Structure 1
Amino acid sequence: MRKAQGIGFVYLSLFIALILTVMPLPQVVKLARPDWTLLVLMYWTLAMPHRVSIGTAFVFGFMVDVLVGTVLGVNALTYSVVIYIVASNYLKIRNFSVIQQALLLSILLAFYHLFLFWLSHFLVGVYFLAEYLWPVLTGMLAWPWLFWLLRRYRRQLKIQ
């Protein structure tokens, strides 16, 4: 029973991240919105790489594509690539402090945004603006708080 409750909380947190991803915001704040779904996927991949990995990233990336209205498969592919990098190096990343993790994950977020831009430019013809990288900064700043919150609930509910 506890196992089902634990994985249920994981998916609940991912669905809350999806809601935060599509929640309406003013245009000024919208540009700097952290990539909540990707950040939560990164946390669960670091915490439980045997449960949340590339397949989960692909499914939730596809959901983000549908909800946001981008070309189908673009976020799914980029989420999968980023989560593959996190899953293949999770033992190393876990040993870093939360600040070092935030810096490393900001590099991965920058890679995500640049890869997403490249795919969008190739498919649709979007041109690069420096504002596309604001979510990298806000994601880096949100990581310690998100890490603390999800780890607290993971330990409290004994999710493994």
Structure 2
Amino acid sequence: MSKRYGLIILSVFFSLVMALMPLPISMETFRPDWVLLVLMYWSLALPHRVNIGTAWLTGLIIDLATGSPLGVHSLTYAVTIYITASNYQKLRNFSIWQQGLLVAVFLALHHLLQFWLHHFLLDVYFSPQYLWPVLTGAICWPWLFLLLRKYRRHFRIR
């Protein structure tokens, strides 16, 4: 495994820590999906390194860490990253704010697919608060994009 791939894994690990870090109960519903945002960035920047398999494995780790039914995050991450990676050439041409809007659409797809799976497996009912991470993720996207791009250029990750 190369040093550059190790740096990608380090950024995904840091996003896993951010996803699992405790927050006050009132703020928990607004937590962006840091892991998916980081995976989307890397699948746009380096689709040959971060792909569906990486997303599936990372989703499996999130499932195990959060106690979610096994495979829910894996499936939703894989579907979202498939759409992102298959359209990476188009998405790269958009401005950062247009990418933020498309990221919001992808996050909404992820959360609605995740809700559907939870509803099917656990009999959970929909609440509009379930989509707050879509808004906060779209707001965080430009800053996360710029931070990870600087990280990628500084360490020459290709």
TM-score band (shorter)? over 0.9
* Structure 1 position 27 matched with structure 2 position 25: yes
TM-score normalised by the chain length of structure 2? 0.98
Find runs of 4+ consecutive structure 1 residues off by over 4 angstroms: none
Q: Separation in 2 of the partners of 1:156 and 1:15? A: 19
1:93 aligned partner, one-letter code: L
1:36 to 34, 48, 52: 34
* Structure 1 position 147 matched with structure 2 position 139: no
1:115 aligned partner, one-letter code: L
Q: What are structure 2's unaligned runs of at least 5 residues?
A: none
Corresponding residue SS for 1:96: coil
* Structure 1 position 58 matched with structure 2 position 56: yes
Q: Separation in 1 of the partners of 2:155 and 2:68? A: 35
- Name the residue aligned to 2:116: 118
TM-score normalised by the chain length of structure 1? 0.97
Report the number of matched residues.
158
Q: CA deviation at 1:28?
A: 1.1
Corresponding residue SS for 1:41: helix
Q: CA deviation at 1:95?
A: 0.5
Cα RMSD between the aligned structures?
0.8
Corresponding residue SS for 2:49: coil
2:35 aligned partner, one-letter code: T
Q: Summarize the alignment of residues 59-138 of structure 1 with structure 2, pairs less than 5 Å apart.
A: 59-138=57-136
Q: CA deviation at 1:74?
A: 0.4
1:141 aligned partner, one-letter code: I
User: Percent identity, aligned pairs only?
Assistant: 56
Q: Deviations over 1:98-124 (max 9, x none)?
A: 000000010000010000000000011
Q: Separation in 1 of the partners of 2:3 and 2:144? A: 20
